[in-house]
Amino acid sequence: MSAMLLQCLSHTPLMGRLHPGQEIESEVEQALQRLRDSLARFEPDVIFLFGPDHFNGFFYDLMPSFCIGTAASSIGDYGCLKGPLDVPAGLAGECAQAVLDQGVDCAVSHRMRVDHGFAQPLQLLTGALDRYPVVPIFINSVAPPLPSAHRARLLGDAVGRFASSLDRRVVFMASGGLSHNPPVPSLATAPPEVAERLLDGRHVTPEQRGEREARTIEAARQFASGQSGLPPINPDWDHDFLDVLKRLDMAALDAFSNTEITARAGNSGHEVKTWIAANSAMSAATGGRYEVSPEYYRAIPEWIAGFATLQGATCR
Ligand SMILES: O=C(O)/C=C/c1cccc(O)c1O
Ligand SMILES: [Fe+2]
């Protein structure tokens, strides 16, 4: 019999680099521990992990809206674990075919490079990149033109229908969001050497990577001290979004426009589409018979994150 579990969490490579204080860090740790415990209890056969990329694996020389990896490796940015994920190639390929058959155009990568967007949740919740088989599903969340919330919902729906046919213990996991605005360059305004890296940054040197990471850490330090031009985290929007998920209101998810997400959740707020896809997958796979509990939320400027966790399980 198929069994389904939904887990969503924010990621931030600033965790462990900047410190929002003991109380907040232990709150976050407890929220992560709840996810870890239910994941371990669930004993998944496979995790369908919806995640973004930050110009580390996907570039403007060929930028898909969605891509399923039949093999994937983490680049180890920001000190995350580096190396291969345990991707079941046949299953991932079948998933891609099923998604295409359901009318959602999705690219395939037989050598997907992933960054902290995929590596951090696996590391935080399982202690490794290859503890469980994982089908990595990329959603373009930072490189306009972006897919809509509606298309992300349909992607999730197609993955959920496929997963429900498997007779396996399946986790739908999302990594991203909620509202946040780290300093990600834009192709439209970038100087030539930065634009080149957005087009094809596959071969940056360790020094260039180190400089980029140091810039983000410095930007977070300024953001946390209130001396930054970066737009603020938006807890009101984040709570509204979590409410929609709690109500299982798929139609409301479709109504989030890209303009609204950028204006209210920030340029990187589009990472919520990973949550939209995972919740939609859970809805499709269970026929809507599941309950969602948003378990933790806090705006954490030191981590440039509206940081949240959510779980969902089938109704008994
Ligand atoms: O520098 C990057 O690649 C991104 C950093 C970042 C910072 C805060 C929240 C996030 O979701 C990020 O990806
Ligand atoms: Fe991110």
pLDDT the model gives residue 207:
95
pLDDT the model gives residue 29:
98
Work out the number of other CB atoms within 10 angstroms of the CB of residue 130. Answer: 14
**Helix pair angle (272-286, 235-246), 10° resolution:** 10
Residue 216 CA: distances (Å) to CA of 7, 140, 183, 304: 27, 20, 7, 10
Of 165, 176, 160, 162, nearest to 5 (Cα)? 160
Predicted confidence band at 9 (pLDDT cuts at 50, 70, 90)?
Answer: very high
Pocket lining: 112 vs ligand 1, CB cutoff 6 Å: no
- Mean pLDDT value of segment 130-137: 98
Respond yes or no: is residue 19 known to be catalytic.
no
Closest ligand 1 atom to residue 117 Cα is 13
Candidates 11, 54, 180, 270; catalytic one = 180
Predicted confidence band at 159 (pLDDT cuts at 50, 70, 90)?
Answer: very high
How does the average pLDDT of the chain come out, rounded?
A: 97
b/e string for 207-231 if b means 16 or more Cβ within 10 A?
eebeebbeebeebbbebbeeebebb
Q: How far apart are CA 131 and CA 138, in angstroms?
A: 20
pLDDT the model gives residue 294:
87
pLDDT the model gives residue 316:
67
User: What is the distance in A from the centroid of ligand 2 to the CA of 270?
Assistant: 9
pLDDT the model gives residue 149:
98
- Mean pLDDT value of segment 18-31: 97
Main-chain phi, psi angles of 215, to 5 degrees: -65, -40
What stretch of H or E contains 77? none
In the chain the domains, ranked by start, together with CATH numbers, are 3-314 (3.40.830.10)
Pocket lining: 304 vs ligand 1, CB cutoff 6 Å: yes
Summarised one tens digit per residue, pLDDT across range 215-270 is 999 999 999 999 888 899 999 999 999 999 999 999 999 999 999 999 999 999 99
Strands (E) located in 52-187: 66-69, 72-75, 82-84, 107-109, 112-114, 134-139, 169-175
pLDDT the model gives residue 275:
98
pLDDT the model gives residue 229:
86
Whether the per-residue pLDDT at 1 is higher than 80: the answer is no
Closest ligand 1 atom to residue 11 Cα is 11
Predicted confidence band at 127 (pLDDT cuts at 50, 70, 90)?
Answer: very high
Predicted confidence band at 166 (pLDDT cuts at 50, 70, 90)?
Answer: very high
- Name the residue with the closest Cα to ligand 1, atom 3: 54
Q: Identity (one letter) of the amino acid at 67?
A: C
- Name the residue with the closest Cα to ligand 1, atom 9: 12
Summarised one tens digit per residue, pLDDT across range 58-102 is 999 999 999 999 999 999 999 999 999 999 999 999 999 999 999
Respond yes or no: is residue 116 known to be catalytic.
yes
Please state, for a pLDDT cut of 90, what percent of the chain lies above it: 97
Please state, for a pLDDT cut of 70, what percent of the chain lies above it: 99
Main-chain phi, psi angles of 145, to 5 degrees: -75, 140
Whether the per-residue pLDDT at 17 is higher than 90: the answer is yes
Whether the per-residue pLDDT at 177 is higher than 90: the answer is no
